[in-house]
Structure 1
Amino acid sequence: MITSHSHSTGPKPETAGPVTARDLWALAGYTAFAGVLLAPLRHYVGKPKQVRRAKFKHDSFPLSTYPMFSTDRKGRIIVPHVVGLTAEGQRILLHHRHYGTGGLNQVRKQIARGVRGGHAAAIAQRYADSLAAERQEGRINGSSAGAIRRRREAAVVSVLVVRSRFIFADYFSAGEHSTLPKEETVRARCVVGATAELVEEPTA
């Protein structure tokens, strides 16, 4: 009897070559990239009070601790802002340029800072004076967006600086009054053409 023996002819496993300088540079690059991504976690080190303070001082993109992205709003938000009232009590949102020439976000921050600093009356006065000056100019004719806005604002008889609490679920619902605040406190009032006064009264 003749017995044959077969030998495996499959590919042999490859052995890793020596580490090159290119490999080391790649490893260093990946390590640096991971460090950049994880660097924002340093703002979470310390006592809760220190962490909250650091969140306001530093934006930590891409793992942002900035309040705009990280604050737990619990389904609601409190906004200091300015509204106009007509003689019939209709609320008119006034253009931010009545307060300043900056963008909307810049003016919004200035108003919020002013309300916190006790300057709500000055804010109301500034808006009311701007409305009065606009009416003297009489630029309400035309079909431009500015002319349409000025015609709408021409009906405003008084300006309120308010601090409103909005509920997200209500605001984004389809209800008739869904965009009205859940609660609101008037901080200052100014009749157009008159002098502003500080107040502190709930309206809703």
Structure 2
Amino acid sequence: MKSPVTARDALPLLGYAALAGVLLAPLGHYRGTRAEVDRAKVEEDSFPLSTYPMFSADRRGRLYLPHVVAFTAAGERRIPHYRHYGAGGLNQVRKQIARAVRAGQAASVAQQYADSLAVAGERELVRVEVVRARFVFDRYFAGRTAPSSEVVHAECAVGGTAVRCRVTRKSTAVIDPNQEPL
């Protein structure tokens, strides 16, 4: 025979009900029209079902990434280490490079990388380019890690002077995913 619910049992039951309410509250973001739902996703997080665009935006299977590529005399692509541009960590440097490319200052990024490579004595690297590459997720995660296309915003010979440019190319290069940054 079951014992009846007592006053002593009420406090834990109220606690469980409150916890369930907190966990289910984010579902309220999905009420209303599509525009209202999208606006609510951006204006406030819906923890534990995070709907910030960083996590929920449809990227349509592709990503555009501004970054720096270095080349050997034989034309082999290498990704130089981020410390050649800044010491704040990979994500901070990545954001600084992206901001510089958007602001039309890609030549200064290329110059700084080239100067740093020259000082560091990276003799096998002869040229750097600041590019905005397009990566397709399905191809990338299938092992074809080269960008599907890229726009070169600036280039600089190591020890030379950077120049702005705007060259679009389809990439056929193969980048070794196991390569350590320089």
Q: TM-score, normalised by structure 1?
A: 0.69
Which structure 1 residue ranges, 4+ long, deviate > 6 Å from structure 2?
A: none
Amino acid at match of 1:72: D
> In the TM superposition, what is the alpha-carbon distance from 1:88 to its structure 2 partner?
2.3
Task: Count residues with an aligned counterpart.
Answer: 167
Counterpart residue number, 1:154: 123
User: What SS does the aligned partner of 2:160 have?
Assistant: coil
What stretches of structure 2 of length at least 5 have no aligned partner? 171-182
- Select 1:64's aligned residue among 21, 45, 50: 50
Counterpart residue number, 2:132: 163
Go from structure 1 to structure 2 and tell me whether the alpha carbon gap of 1:34 and 1:108 turns closer, same or farther (over 3 Å shift).
farther
Amino acid at match of 1:82: V
Root mean square deviation, CA, Å: 2.6
> In the TM superposition, what is the alpha-carbon distance from 1:128 to its structure 2 partner?
1.1
1:90 aligns with 2:56: no
User: What SS does the aligned partner of 1:193 have?
Assistant: coil
Go from structure 1 to structure 2 and tell me whether the alpha carbon gap of 1:132 and 1:76 turns closer, same or farther (over 3 Å shift).
same
> In the TM superposition, what is the alpha-carbon distance from 1:189 to its structure 2 partner?
1.4
Go from structure 1 to structure 2 and tell me whether the alpha carbon gap of 1:154 and 1:66 turns closer, same or farther (over 3 Å shift).
farther
Contact 1:129–1:193 (8 Å) recurs in 2: yes
Contact 2:42–2:51 (8 Å) recurs in 1: no
What stretches of structure 1 of length at least 5 have no aligned partner? 1-12, 136-152
Counterpart residue number, 1:50: 39
1:180 aligns with 2:146: yes
> In the TM superposition, what is the alpha-carbon distance from 1:97 to its structure 2 partner?
1.0
Q: TM-score, normalised by structure 2?
A: 0.76
Superposed counterparts of 1:135-150, under 5 Å: 135=121
Superposed counterparts of 1:99-114, under 5 Å: 99-114=85-100
- The structure number with the bigger radius of gyration is 1
